[in-house]
Structure 1
Amino acid sequence: MSEHKSQEEMVKDAVEEAKAKVAEEQTEEVQTEENPETVTEEEAETASQEETGGEAKEPAKEGSKKFFGKKNKKDKKDEKIEELTDRLTRQMAEFDNFRKRSEKEKSQMYEIGAKDVIEKILPVVDNFERGLQGLTEEEKADPFVEGVDKIYKQLMTTLEGIGVKPIEAVGQEFDPDFHNAVMHVEDEAFGENTIAEEFQKGYTYRDSVVRHSMVKVAN
């Protein structure tokens, strides 16, 4: 019975000793983490001797302690904040680019639709002009003709108000960006590369050509 008890006591003593040893090691680890830059002179001297083949060197200076310590790391919260800030900045830039691109596409679609409508109205304008140009002075005095002339002028005023303008042609220098040459003539009355006659009037809408002028070019 006494032998059995003595064995139990021995086991208990061994357990207590192991616990004490683990506690001591944990305490040393905590102290090392709290003071990572602290290095004893003996350790510094030993490390220096190992690197230089056993020769003793002067004690390390204060600044050299950092070489043996752990590097300061960023806090995880700061890293997360930087990551989220960078992500937010990128998303805001992408959204701004998307907004500008959408506005540009919207404006282009509007102009394409407007030009398409104007192009369909221009033949009506051509017919008004042909009909009014073929009238005599006596016929122009007719109330019906006067009414038609007023409608034509109102239509042209409305088109001008939305940005539609006729292209100047006769007497101007030929410009392929605005004029379409369908005939060529040699005539000393006109200068070189000058438009002598206009067969069909051209128009622009907000500085872009809706229809080129159909012209005859001299010289």
Structure 2
Amino acid sequence: MTTENTENEKELDPNIIEENANGEQLIVEELSPEEQLQQDLDKEKDKHIRLFAEFENYKKRTAKERIDLFKTANQEVLQSLIPVLDDFDRALAEIKKSEDEALIKGVELIHEKLKSTLVSKGLEEVEVRAGDAFNADYAEAITQIPAPSDKLKGKIVDVIEKGYKLGDKIIRFPKVVIGQ
């Protein structure tokens, strides 16, 4: 076919012959102006719907990220206060050995105020006790000792250091001794 014949065929035939990227000839129907406008409108509606859905997903994702950020924004501050809380627990244990009831009561009040403030900021203690089954996802074993009884084999014998979590995230694992 020559170029001249192809152009004549386009004029005579309501179909238009186009070549695709592979060089193949395709026959495409010529659309009326109304049909072309409707097709363009449908394409634009589809683009709009997809863009709107993408934007909604973006808003949801950023809102979730913002909530997560607010939950853990004070993580560094709380992590730096955990050793202070540990020292306070040890001091309170030693003070309870004294005979001064007023001192014990005052230190207990300050200790409770500190703990309640940290809890209000989202800090929670990870609950592990002697006799619980050891789970590496929630505790860190620092050593193993021969189990004092058969019941304690593979279980927690002693809790050396308390663990804490902020929301659902553990920010310090409890350090435990497990029985062999």
Partner residue in 2 for 1:180: 140
Match of 1:96 in 2: 56
Higher Cα radius of gyration: 1
Partner of 2:171: 210
TM-score, normalising length: structure 1 = 0.61
**2:11 paired residue number:** none
Q: Which of 130, 153, 156 in structure 2 is aligned with 1:195?
A: 156
Q: How does 1:59-98 map to 2 (within 5 A)?
A: 73=32, 75-98=35-58
Displacement of 1:130 in angstroms is: 0.6
3-state SS, counterpart of residue 124 of structure 2: strand
Q: Distance in 1 between matches of 2:30 and 2:162?
A: 80
Kindly provide the CA deviation profile for residues 19-78 of structure 1, in whole angstroms up to 9, marking residues without a partner as x. xxxxxxxxxxxxxxxxx9xxxxxxxxxxxxxxxxxxxxxxxxxxxxxxxxx887452332
RMSD of aligned alpha carbons: 2.2
Please tell me the residue identity of whatever aligns with 1:83: K
Q: Could you tell me how far 1:96 is from its partner in structure 2?
A: 0.9
8 Å CA contact 2:147, 2:153 repeated in 1: no
Q: TM-score w.r.t. structure 2 length?
A: 0.72
Residues 214, 149 of structure 1: alpha-carbon distance in 2 compared, 3 angstrom cutoff: same
Letter in 1 for 2:81: I
Residue in structure 2 matched with residue 154 of structure 1 by the alignment: 113
Shifted more, 151-160 versus 199-208: the winner is 151-160
Q: Is the 8 A contact 2:144 2:177 kept in 1?
A: yes
* 1:112-140 CA-partner distances (Å, limit 9, x unpaired): 3232222111111111101000121513x
- 2:43 and 2:31 map into 1 onto residues whose CA distance is 19
Structure having the higher strand fraction is 2
Is 1:165 the counterpart of 2:119? The answer is no
Of 106, 124, 127, 2:87 maps to: 127
Gap runs ≥5 in structure 2: 1-13, 15-28
- Partner SS state of residue 193, structure 1: coil
In structure 2, give the amino acid aligned to 1:199: I
Higher relative contact order (CA 8 A, sep 6+): 2
CA distances 1:114-169 after superposition (whole Å, capped 9, x unpaired): 32222111111111101000121513x03x44222112112222333343221222
Query: Gaps (5+ residues) in structure 1?
Result: 1-35, 37-69
Percent identical: 26
